[in-house]
């Protein structure tokens, strides 16, 4: 834990709630943040309740008029300054992320770089808010369509990318002129604290960003969504909680973005480049210890290429070092907690009971929430694991014979977030890429997240998009002015 001990950052953080200013929650409770790698407590922060949520909404409502009236370029400058400041504290922030999530320090650094890009991208988009002018069909009227801020937003984020999932919401919300109440995961609140400190330090006005951490998320979200002044909820997390928030948001028709679970199929056709496919699988499966909504959940290999792909995969997986994220040479860190660890063991058992064979399994440290990187092959196409997010470093491989069969298997899920296709046949790439019912398709790549692209899903994977030019529209309302020509 040398990296952690060396971090200067945490000692300088306020750890209360932020509602126009830093203070303790109305009832002075705290929640403990622990390291998944060691089980040790690394910090305590505020544990907010309903009264704090109401205070945050009052604050966000009061700040809305002033913030939405700032010029787009002023908001852009603040986001760009935040981007620059995040890069200055990048090493310390990576240590915080590594400690609270258990991911490797290299992955934590990658997350800082990726998350920071949203600040920069939406600084750039803040001055391109869109709109159009048209002439009515009879020529008598100008139709002016403009995009304005939606109003106070509630932003709820998960633990797997505790910094990037926050910037992906906060940056477009602020760029569009909204005030926000941020509620990060109780398991990983620390990187959100760092971001709020950065935003305040660079001059984002008090009240524009509130921060609430809590062990009782429903006691924050329910009162906020039952208040008509809250105009938007953006949530990233599990499908069950997303469904609940969607229902609650309907009380006053708050605008809703839901980035939910995934069950990504990864298809390797017999004309694929073997090395590229193996590299893609390693990235799409083992990045972040497999705890990603876009992780390859079901890997389908065409029969004649399966042998060489499996051999190379087994070699790579056996060689993976699963270890404390701060350890030199760690490839795969801890999973988030013991519950996740137990669920992974159960997934391997289910895959084996269905006819699968464990072909590779890495070693793990004896203590901490670690899961061996595992390869299970020959799992039937119609797997009992269908619809189950693995969320761990376990690759489940099935064999297929033809295109129609694998497309049907790939689409046989209630989710529709990411998917991956490996082939060197451009016609097949185009055909299969469009036949898979998912919001995102990676062609010959295992890495699809990109700040400039619309990230999101269909079916039970949610509604709305984050990133790209589309991401800011989720935080805007349309206004149409009918201007009669004189």
Query: Which residues belong to the active site?
Result: 259, 293
387: left (phi over 0), alpha (psi -120 to 50) or beta: left
Size of the site for ligand NAD (CB under 6 A): 25
Q: Which two tokens stand for residue 377?
A: 């092959």
Q: How far is the CB of 43 from ligand NAD (least distance, A)?
A: 17
Stretch that binds ligand NAD, among 17-25, 142-150, 180-188, 317-325 (CB under 6 A): 180-188
Nearest partner of 262 among 160, 381, 144, 359, judged by Cα: 160
Q: Which residue has the tokens 């990603």?
A: 292
According to the binding rule CB under 6 A, does residue 372 interact with ligand NAD? no
Considering only residues 156, 266, 299, 436, which one is a binding residue for ligand NAD as defined by CB under 6 A?
A: 156
Position 47 contacts ligand NAD (CB under 6 A): no
d(CA 405, CA 251): 43
> Long-range pairs for 238-247 at CB < 8 Å and ≥24 separation?
238/158, 239/415, 239/460, 239/461, 239/462, 242/462, 245/156, 245/221, 246/463
Kindly identify the residues of this chain, within the stretch 209-228, that bind ligand NAD according to CB under 6 A.
Answer: 217-218, 221
Q: Is residue 185 at the binding interface for ligand NAD, with CB under 6 A as the rule?
A: yes
Work out whether 450 is an interface residue with ligand NAD (CB under 6 A): no
Backbone phi, then psi, for 165, in 5-degree steps? -70, -25
Name the nearest CA neighbour of 45 among 144, 175, 190.
190
Binding flag, residue 417, ligand NAD (CB under 6 A): yes
Among 20, 149, 151, 158, the residue binding ligand NAD under the rule CB under 6 A is 158
Strands in 321-364 per DSSP E? 357-361
Q: Which is nearer to ligand NAD, 236 or 419 (CB)?
A: 236
Q: How far is CA 426 from the centre of its chain?
A: 30
Toward ligand NAD, which CB reaches closer, 183 or 359?
A: 183
Tell me the closest approach of the beta carbon of residue 171 to ligand NAD, in angstroms.
15
Among 19, 43, 293, 335, which residue interacts with ligand NAD (rule: CB under 6 A)? Answer: 293
DSSP one-letter code for 482 = E
Q: What 8-state DSSP symbol labels residue 466?
A: B
**Whose Cβ is closer to ligand NAD: residue 185's or residue 191's?**
185
Integer angstrom CA distances of residue 194 from 9, 86, 122, 211, 474? 8, 9, 19, 11, 25
Strand partners, 154: 181, 233
To ligand NAD, the closest distance from the beta carbon of 164 in angstroms equals: 9
Does residue 195 bind ligand NAD (CB under 6 A)?
no
C-alpha gyration radius of the chain: 23
Give the binding range for ligand NAD (CB under 6 A) out of 181-189, 296-304, 429-437, 469-477: 181-189
Per CB under 6 A, does 38 bind ligand NAD?
Answer: no
Contact status: 416 vs ligand NAD (CB under 6 A)? no
Q: Is 256 in the site for ligand NAD (CB under 6 A)?
A: no
Count of CB atoms situated within 10 Å of the CB of 48: 30
Among 36, 115, 177, 262, interactor with ligand NAD by CB under 6 A: 262
Round to whole Å and give the CA distance between 76 and 464. 23
C-beta of 436: minimal distance to ligand NAD in Å?
A: 16
Going by C-alpha positions, the residue among 481, 463, 452, 455 that lies closest to residue 128 is 452
Q: Is 259 an interacting residue with respect to ligand NAD (CB under 6 A)?
A: yes
User: Which residue in the block uniquely carries the two structure tokens 């002075």?
Assistant: 28
Of 235-254, binders to ligand NAD (CB under 6 A) are 236-238, 241, 244-245
Per-residue contact flags (x/-) with ligand NAD for residues 81 to 120, judged by CB under 6 A: ----------------------------------------
- Residue 155 and residue 202: Cα distance in Å, rounded? 21
- Catalog residues that contact ligand NAD under the rule CB under 6 A: 156-160, 165, 183, 185-186, 217-218, 221, 236-238, 241, 244-245, 259-262, 293, 389, 417
């Amino acid at each position: 834990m040398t990296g952690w001990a060396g971090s200067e950052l945490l000692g300088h953080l306020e750890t209360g709630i932020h509602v126009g200013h830093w203070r303790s929650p109305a009832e002075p409770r705290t929640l403990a943040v622990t390291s998944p790698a060691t089980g040790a407590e690394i910090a305590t922060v505020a544990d907010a309740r309903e009264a704090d949520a109401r205070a945050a909404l009052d604050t966000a409502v009061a700040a809305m008029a002033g913030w939405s009236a700032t010029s787009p370029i002023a908001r852009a400058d603040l986001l760009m300054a935040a981007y620059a400041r995040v890069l200055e504290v990048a090493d310390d922030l990576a240590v915080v992320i590594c400690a609270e999530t258990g991911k490797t320090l290299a992955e934590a650094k990658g997350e800082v770089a990726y998350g920071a890009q949203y600040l920069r991208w939406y600084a750039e988009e803040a001055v391109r808010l869109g709109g159009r002018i048209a002439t009515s069909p009879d020529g008598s009227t100008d139709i002016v369509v403009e995009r304005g801020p939606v109003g106070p937003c509630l932003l709820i984020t998960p633990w797997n990318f505790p910094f990037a999932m926050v910037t992906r919401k906060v940056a477009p919300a602020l760029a569009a002129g909204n005030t926000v109440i941020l509620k990060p995961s109780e398991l990983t609140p620390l990187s959100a604290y760092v971001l709020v400190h950065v935003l305040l330090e660079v001059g984002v006005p008090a009240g524009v960003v509130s921060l609430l951490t809590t062990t009782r998320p429903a006691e924050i979200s329910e009162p906020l969504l039952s208040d008509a002044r809250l105009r938007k909820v953006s949530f990233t997390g599990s499908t069950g909680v997303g469904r609940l928030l969607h229902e609650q948001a309907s009380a006053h028709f708050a605008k809703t973005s839901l980035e939910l679970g995934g069950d990504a199929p990864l298809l390797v056709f017999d004309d694929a480049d073997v090395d590229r496919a193996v590299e893609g699988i390693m990235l799409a499966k083992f990045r972040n210890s497999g705890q990603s909504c876009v992780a390859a959940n079901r890997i389908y290999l065409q029969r004649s290429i399966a042998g060489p792909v499996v051999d190379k995969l087994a070699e790579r997986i056996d060689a993976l070092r699963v270890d404390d994220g701060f350890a030199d040479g760690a490839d795969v860190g801890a999973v988030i907690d013991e519950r996740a660890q137990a669920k992974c063991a159960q997934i391997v058992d289910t895959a084996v009971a269905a006819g699968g064979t464990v072909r590779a399994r890495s070693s793990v440290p004896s203590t901490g929430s670690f899961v061996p990187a595992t390869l299970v092959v020959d799992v039937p196409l119609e797997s009992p694991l269908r619809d189950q997010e693995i969320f761990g470093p376990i690759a489940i491989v099935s064999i297929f014979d033809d295109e129609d069969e694998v497309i049907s298997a790939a689409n046989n899920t209630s989710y529709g977030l990411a998917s991956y296709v490996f082939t060197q046949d451009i016609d097949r790439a185009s055909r299969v890429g469009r036949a898979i019912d998912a919001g995102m398709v990676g062609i010959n790549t295992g890495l699809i997240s990109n700040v400039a692209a619309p990230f999101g899903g269909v079916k039970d994977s949610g509604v709305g998009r984050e990133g790209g030019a589309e991401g800011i529209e989720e935080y805007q309302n349309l206004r149409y002015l009918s201007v009669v020509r004189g």
